[in-house]
Structure 1
Amino acid sequence: MLLELFIGAIFVGGTITLMLASYFLMRWFTGSEADVHEKDLASSVIFRISALHGLILALVFAQEMFSYQQLRLQTATEANAIADIYFDAGRYGGGHNVAVQKELNDYIRVVVDKEWQELGETNRLSPEAWAQWDAAYNAVLDLVPTNPREQSLRNHMLDRIYLISDSRTKRESTVADSMNAIFWFAALSGVFFIALAYYSYPPRSRNILLISMFGAYTGIILFLIYAFSNPYIQPAELSPGPLLRLQQQIAALPPAS
Structure 2
Amino acid sequence: MASVLIGIAIIGGTTATVLAAYYIMHLVMGGDPGGRDRELASSVITRIASLHALILALVFAQEMIEYQALRTESAVESNAVGDVFYDAERYGPEAQAPIQKALKDYVRIVIEEEWTELGRTGELSSAAWDQWNNAYLRILELAPVNAKQQSLRGHMLDEIHTISESRDRRENSGTDSISLIFWFAAVSGVIFTAIGYYPYAPDGRNLLLLSIFGVFTGIILLHLRLL
Please give the per-residue CA displacement for 1:7-29, whole angstroms capped at 9, x wherever unaligned: 32322221111111101111111
2:31 and 2:77 map into 1 onto residues whose CA distance is: 64
Corresponding position of 1:83: 82
Q: Is the 8 A contact 1:104 1:133 kept in 2?
A: yes
Corresponding position of 2:53: 54
Please give the per-residue CA displacement for 1:126-149, whole angstroms capped at 9, x wherever unaligned: 122222212211111111222221
Q: How many residues align?
A: 227
Q: Secondary structure at the match of 2:196?
A: helix
1:169 and 1:76 map into 2 onto residues whose CA distance is: 14
Question: TM-score, with normalisation over the residues of structure 2?
Answer: 0.91
Question: TM-score, with normalisation over the residues of structure 1?
Answer: 0.81
Corresponding position of 1:154: 153
For residue 186 of structure 1, what is the amino acid of its counterpart?
A
Corresponding position of 2:24: 25
Please give the per-residue CA displacement for 1:88-113, whole angstroms capped at 9, x wherever unaligned: 01111252443222222222222223
Please give the per-residue CA displacement for 1:147-193, whole angstroms capped at 9, x wherever unaligned: 22111111111111111011111221222012132222111111011
- Show structure 1 runs of 4+ deviating over 6 A: none
For residue 28 of structure 1, what is the amino acid of its counterpart?
L
1:4 and 1:114 map into 2 onto residues whose CA distance is: 18
Corresponding position of 1:195: 194
Q: Is the 8 A contact 1:96 1:142 kept in 2?
A: no
Corresponding position of 1:220: 219
Give the alignment of 1:1-257 within 5 angstroms: 3-33=2-32, 36-93=35-92, 95-228=94-227
What CA RMSD, in Å, does the superposition of the two structures yield over aligned residues?
A: 1.9
Kindly, what percent of the aligned residue pairs are identical?
A: 50
Q: 1:225 to 1:146 in 2, by over 3 A?
A: same
Please give the per-residue CA displacement for 1:18-46, whole angstroms capped at 9, x wherever unaligned: 11110111111112526555222211111
Displacement of 1:69: 2.9
Unaligned runs of 5+ in 2: none
For residue 42 of structure 2, what is the amino acid of its counterpart?
S
Unaligned runs of 5+ in 1: 229-257
